[in-house]
Structure formats: C-alpha cells, structure tokens
Amino acid sequence: MPKLGRRAFLIGGAGLLAGAALLKPRDEGGPYPDYFARLNATLRREGMAKPVLVLDLDRIDRNVERVRRSVARAPAKTYRVVVKSLPSLPLVEYVAKAAGTHALMSFHQPFLNAVAEQRPDADVLLGKPLPVDAARRFYGALRGGFRPERQLQWLIDSNARLAQYQELARGLGTRLRVNLEIDVGLHRGGFDPDAAFVAALATLASDPEHLELAGFMGYEAHVGRLPGFLGERAFAAAHARYEAFVSLARASQPALLARPLTFNGAGSLTYRRYEGDALLNDLSAGSCLVMPTHFEVPLLEGHEPAAFIATPVLKRLPGTRVPGFEWAAPLAEAWNPNLAQTYFLYGGNWLAELEAPPGLRSNGVFVSSNQQGVNGSSSLDLAVDDFVFLRPTQSEAVLLQFGDLVVVRGERVVERWPVLASDV
C-alpha cells in the first residue's frame, strides 16, 4: 500500500474508532436522588410489599397554592377541582379545602353520585356530555341532601341531547341546569356560534319550568400543546371565539344572561393564561396538582411532581439475557454499560415513565403487567425489595389502578385514601 494510502487508511480508521467512542452509550446509572432514597426507606419501613401509588402532600400543598394564587388574581375566579384527575374523594376534599372552594368538575356518573352523597355542599359542573340514561341513573341512585336543581350543571353539546334532557326533566318533574359546551377551537364537539346555538338558547328560554341556562363551557386544551407564538395566537383566537358566543347569546336571549352565569374554561395546561382576564369567571384544573409527565409545559413551570408509582424489585440478575439470543448478551453489555443488570419488577406496563433510581430503562423483551423487566448499569445499588419509582404520564386512569393511595408527608405515611369506585 502506498505511503499516502496507508496514512489515509490509518486516519480513517482512527476517525471511525473515535466516532464509535462518541456513539457508545455512557453509564447513566447512579444512586437514588435524596428524595427517592428517603421515600424508599419510608416505604420499606412501612412494610410495603406491592405496587402502590404514592402522593406527596407537601408537594400537593405547594401546587394547590400556586393555583390558588393564580385564580385569585383580580378579577378573581372560581377554582373548580377536576375530580377525574384526582379520583379519590379524600384527595378531592383535601384539595378543595386547601384551595377554599366547593366547586368541582365531574366526568363520570358513578363518581358524580359519590360526590353528591359525600359532598352534599358541592357545586358540580359536568366536564363532558353524558348519555341521558347516565343522567337518569344518577337521579335513580341519588341519596342525601345534594340538590341537583341548584348544585349541578349538566353539559349539553347539541340540540338533540338538549331535547333528551328536556324530556328527562319533564318525566322527573324537575328542572335541570344546563351548561352549553361551546367549541372555542379544540374541535372536539360542542356548539358553534350559529343557528343551532341560537336554537338551543331559544329552547332554554321557552321552558323555564324544566330547563335553566347555567352557563357555557369552552375547553382549549390544544392551546397548551402549541409552542411560543402559535400558542399565543391560538389562545387569542379561543378567547375571541368565547366572546363571540357570549355576545350572540346576549343579543338573541338577553333575559337568559341577565343573572350570574358560569363561564367556565381552562384546564391544567392553560389556567395561568387567565390571570387578569375578565371574560371567564370559572377555571378548572386538576392534573397540575400531581403533575404527570404529559403536563410538563412551560406554563406549569414551578409545579412539582407529587404522584409516583412505587413498585418492589422482585429479582436482580446479572447481564441482559434475551431468550433465544443468549450469545448476543456479552456483545450488548460490552457496548452499552446500562445493560449490565436486569431487574424484574412487581407488576408493570403502566402509563408511566421510569423516574428513579436514574439510568433504568425498559427491556423491550420483558414488557409485562406481571413482571416488567428493566435494565440498569453496575452503578446502580438497587437490591431486591427496594422500590423502583415511576412517574405517571397522566393521572385519571393511573391513580385508579393501585387500590388505596399511600399519602406521605415528609418521611412518614400519614394516610391511606380510597379511590372512587367505577360503578354505582
């Protein structure tokens, strides 16, 4: 080989080796962060031996205070606690008391009945339109001193559904309070500012014995997912569209708007945008109090994750052995130090992301709701019976999967709160 060719070959080979070194995964493992080390010690001291959902009350307190201060900015608004995002009545009661509110938003008929029975002072707005048979079932199961004709707003998204609810009210001999769902840009249903909306208002005005307009609900979750100026522009458009509904209602049925109404909007992703806003008077939020991963957006900066899945390690094995491909394990481990150990967890395959200790990663072969397999490096000092912590991606479904919520404050388990039952 000519001298120049050898030199180019050597330089090229060195470049490939350097590139490979840069591509080689680094060791991402390490000990628990202090917070999770303390939490692991707390759960082990309590003798926990199965997957649990842990709530940190100190963090929830601080998140509630962030929402309370924002909603209190003049002109002050009602803060409405979203039950589906915090599906435990003791948790809802704790948050409502801390925030100084009786206003709740419910999305599920069994939860609605539980709220009506156990929180008879609550003011409840439905967060989605329910089949009329669900409303009929609610009235059939209603117990206690809750008065729907004063304390409950049914969400109505169409004239067809309004007619069904009107028939229900006549059959029950009662009056239903109706909140109209309006489409302010999310395009998930609801009224447009058109003739159908005007017709719904006319129906409400024509039958005060059975129907009463309680307000409007315009949800704009899409705004919270859009970056920078796109989000600003989408919020301005949603706000203008909400104003258009109110103006149209005032022009077509002024008597319906002559008394105080609920102008509801927002959610965890957008509630802070309404500081100082004079149009909406009722803001909903729930998930931002426990902060699942899907709510990591700039507008929620400062909110702290407060809900974690904690699951025991059942097995700790050296290396990464794949059934049928055992020969490849040494190569994989030599290339990636994060495959040096395999752990099998109690349960798994949840809507959640691995949080602590650092460097754990899901093993794609052992995806299981029985014994989830995860890998980690030799830098992990994670023993059998220690806990792996995962952060839910959302709260409503995940919080219902573990039985009683394990409530901690500092380094103590202080409560065990039951979750809501899915059927009544």
pLDDT digits (tens, 9 = 90+) for 330-357: 777 677 887 889 999 999 999 999 999 9
145 backbone φψ class: left, alpha, beta (φ>0; ψ -120 to 50): alpha
305, 39 contact by CB (below 8 A): no
DSSP secondary structure letters along 343-385: EEESB---SEEEEESTT-EE-TT---SSB-EEEE-TT----TT
Helices 89-99, 109-118: crossing angle, 10 deg rounding: 60
- pLDDT bucket at 424, cuts 50 / 70 / 90: low
pLDDT digits (tens, 9 = 90+) for 75-90: 999 999 999 999 999 9
pLDDT of residue 360: 95
274, 265 contact by CB (below 8 A): yes
CA 24 remoteness from chain centre: 36
Count of other CB atoms within 10 angstroms of residue 260: 9
pLDDT at 22 over 70: no
- Reference 161, options 113, 211, 118; nearest CA is 211
Tokens of 110: 């069994």
Residue 176 and residue 162: Cα distance in Å, rounded? 10
Tokens of 342: 């395999």
Domains of the chain: 28-53+304-417 (2.40.37), 58-291 (3.20.20.10)
Helix (H), strand (E) at residue 331:
helix 329-335
pLDDT of residue 414: 97
Residue 30 and residue 356: Cα distance in Å, rounded? 9
pLDDT digits (tens, 9 = 90+) for 285-342: 999 999 999 999 999 999 999 999 999 999 999 988 777 666 666 777 677 887 889 9
Q: What is the DSSP letter of 249?
A: H
Average pLDDT rounded to a whole number, residues 347-371: 94
201, 252 contact by CB (below 8 A): yes
pLDDT digits (tens, 9 = 90+) for 92-128: 999 999 999 999 999 999 999 999 999 999 999 999 9
Tokens of 118: 């156990």
Residue 18 and residue 208: Cα distance in Å, rounded? 79
Mean pLDDT score of the chain: 92
- pLDDT bucket at 10, cuts 50 / 70 / 90: very low
pLDDT digits (tens, 9 = 90+) for 119-129: 999 999 999 99
DSSP secondary structure letters along 177-225: EEEEEB-SSS-SS-B-SSHHHHHHHHHHHH-TTTEEEEEEEE--HHHHH
**C-alpha angle with apex 147: 146 to 151, nearest 5 degrees?**
95
- pLDDT bucket at 15, cuts 50 / 70 / 90: very low
Q: Say how many CA atoms lie within 13 Å of 19 toward its Cβ.
A: 6
pLDDT at 17 over 50: no
- pLDDT bucket at 251, cuts 50 / 70 / 90: very high
* Strand-strand pairing, 352-356 and 387-392: antiparallel
Residue located via tokens 């220690």: 386
Taking the chain, what is the end-to-end CA distance rounded to the nearest angstrom? 84
**C-alpha angle with apex 371: 365 to 372, nearest 5 degrees?**
50
Helix (H), strand (E) at residue 103:
strand 103-106
- Reference 382, options 127, 1, 34, 37; nearest CA is 37
pLDDT digits (tens, 9 = 90+) for 44-74: 999 999 999 999 999 999 999 999 999 999 9
Count of other CB atoms within 10 angstroms of residue 367: 11
Model-level pTM? 0.91
Tokens of 103: 């206003």
Average pLDDT rounded to a whole number, residues 167-192: 97
Residue located via tokens 């309006």: 182
Residue 363's contacts (CB-CB under 8 Å, 6 or more residues apart) are 320, 342, 373, 374, 375
Q: What is the DSSP letter of 298?
A: G
313, 383 contact by CB (below 8 A): yes
DSSP secondary structure letters along 256-292: GGSS--EEEE--TTTGGGGTT-SS--EEEE-GGGT--
- pLDDT bucket at 6, cuts 50 / 70 / 90: low
86, 289 contact by CB (below 8 A): yes
